[in-house]
Amino acid sequence: MADYDVDLFVIGGGSGGVRAARIAAGHGAKVMVAEEYRMGGTCVIRGCVPKKLFVIGSHVHQEIEDAAGFGWTIPQVSFDWPTLVANKDKEIARLEAAYTTNVEKSGAHIAKTRAVFEDAHTLRLATGETVKANYVLIATGGAPNHGPEIPGIEHVISSNEAFHLAELPRRIVIQGGGYIALEFAGIFAGFGSDVTVIYRGDNILRGFDEDVREHVRSEMEKRGITILTGCTVTKVDRHGKEFTTHLSNGSSLASEKVMFAIGRHPNVANLGLEKAGVAINPNNGGIAVDAWSKSSVSNIYAIGDVTHRHNLTPVAIREGHAFADTVFGKRPVQVDHSNIPTAVFSQPEVGMVGLTEAEARAQFSHVDIYKTSFRPIKATMSGRDTRVLMKLVVDGVSDRVLGCHIVGDCAAETIQAVAIAVKMKATKADFDATFALHPTAAEELVTMRTPTVRYVRQAAVAP
């Protein structure tokens, strides 16, 4: 230690970096965290948390509409976007302060500045100070990707700016078909904006189960959101406070805002990685790491979105904790990235864990599908035209539940519990033996008795 100022230097004060710093400090390490912007990272400052707050707020309009069917007469209401933004900012500031306090309580030191590599053990801070570290953890996260340069790209906002708009746009065009694009489509539509989603593929939510993709699109379109697939934005013209978005299919759209949510890229630029000898994964542009989150340099590790493995906050937290236990706790821990539950806070909400139907059929010879679509009990009184989708993917040989997919209210809350069962390798018989909790939507998960379809892969015939 005599040759080093700190045992661990963490670049990035997001959820993963903070967890690693706190656990390492708890193991007795001397830790410094450098954060050039705000403690909390993408999730707390400009991602999951403010997004979920906006989603919750946008649901209120639907709740008011649905209330009539239950006997409520509600006078005309009004919504104030600046109030929402201001109250969100207060909550984010509170969380940022909590993150800072928790790191400091652990004994780690925070440097509110940018840090870059001078060599594998030396970090230079923007203040001019240099710090020698035995180990370095890169946890710089990711940033929105605007894609190829097009005329008028300077007029386009990302999810970062969407949280700080001065006013709610009457009309907004959103390019992208992933969870960020669809979540903001639901948010803006819920607050009263006219929303059009543009996606280059044949359908939204690429990588999700096909039934989920079709169901979400149908439900979003029922709620008045226009979804145009098979095309892209080619140019954006500005006319005062309005924009004209030109599409590859020859059409154009007028709006007050144009937002791109077409993916995110790892924050690896201008960190001095080449000086430290840290290699980039050529397949995804993130920092190349092994199963222990170790980079190509033995004392430098990377976790979270900057590795571009599984870009989810709980994954970064788990990776950060495992790193600290392995390196400083003398308790080797490898993160198991299988069966990670995930949610899309679109409207309707999506929750999934495990394999899609297509993935299961590619990996297993016998696959049983159990699927149901039904009108939720609330809709029978509210009169809303909406349906819930639930689907189980089962290994037809072992009876193990390989995947679960839910679209509907509280899908994320439900899938968290189901994920425990899937992780424990529960069988369909285990689900069947579980008492239903009535009346709930989730009871359908344990009452689907007959397969919707059974797939059997034919063995190859010898020539």
Cite the residue boundaries of each domain of the chain with CATH code 3.50.50.60.
6-144+265-327, 153-262
pLDDT tens readout for residues 258-286: 999 998 999 999 999 999 999 999 999 99
Q: Which residue has the tokens 């909390």?
A: 40
CATH class (in words) of the domain with range 6-144+265-327 = alpha beta
pLDDT of residue 463: 56
Q: For residues 263 and 178, is the Cβ–Cβ distance under 8 A?
A: yes
pLDDT tens readout for residues 223-263: 999 999 999 999 999 999 999 999 999 999 999 999 999 98
Spatial separation of the C-alpha atoms in residues 119 and 412, rounded to whole Å: 43
Q: Where are the alpha helices (DSSP H) in 68-209?
A: 81-106, 159-162, 179-190
Spatial separation of the C-alpha atoms in residues 11 and 13, rounded to whole Å: 7
CATH class (in words) of the domain with range 348-452 = alpha beta
Residue 45 is inside which H or E element, if any? helix 41-46
Residue 67 burial (10 A CB sphere; 0-12, 13-18, 19+): middle
Q: Which residue has the tokens 């791109």?
A: 260
Dihedral over Cα of 442, 448, 453, 458: its sign: positive
What contacts 279, CB < 8 A, 6 or more positions away? 287, 288, 295, 296
Q: Is 61 designated active site? A: no
Which residues of the chain are modeled with pLDDT < 50?
1
One-letter amino acid at 175 equals Q
The conformation of residue 47, written as its DSSP 8-state character, comes to S
One-letter amino acid at 293 equals S
User: Token pair for residue 186?
Assistant: 């639901």
User: What is the CATH code of the structural domain delimited by 153-262?
Assistant: 3.50.50.60
Spatial separation of the C-alpha atoms in residues 433 and 2, rounded to whole Å: 61
Of the residues 59, 215, 308, 438, which is catalytic? 438
Cite the residue boundaries of each domain of the chain with CATH code 3.30.390.30.
348-452
pLDDT of residue 146: 82
Spatial separation of the C-alpha atoms in residues 402 and 420, rounded to whole Å: 12
Phi-psi category of 268—alpha, beta or left, where left has phi over 0 and alpha has psi -120 to 50? alpha
Backbone angles phi, psi at 157, to 5 degrees: -100, 160
Q: pTM for the whole thing?
A: 0.94
What contacts 2, CB < 8 A, 6 or more positions away? none
Q: For residues 212 and 350, is the Cβ–Cβ distance under 8 A?
A: yes
Dihedral over Cα of 111, 115, 117, 120: its sign: positive
Q: Where are the alpha helices (DSSP H) in 328-438?
A: 357-363, 377-382, 411-423, 428-433
Spatial separation of the C-alpha atoms in residues 117 and 130, rounded to whole Å: 10
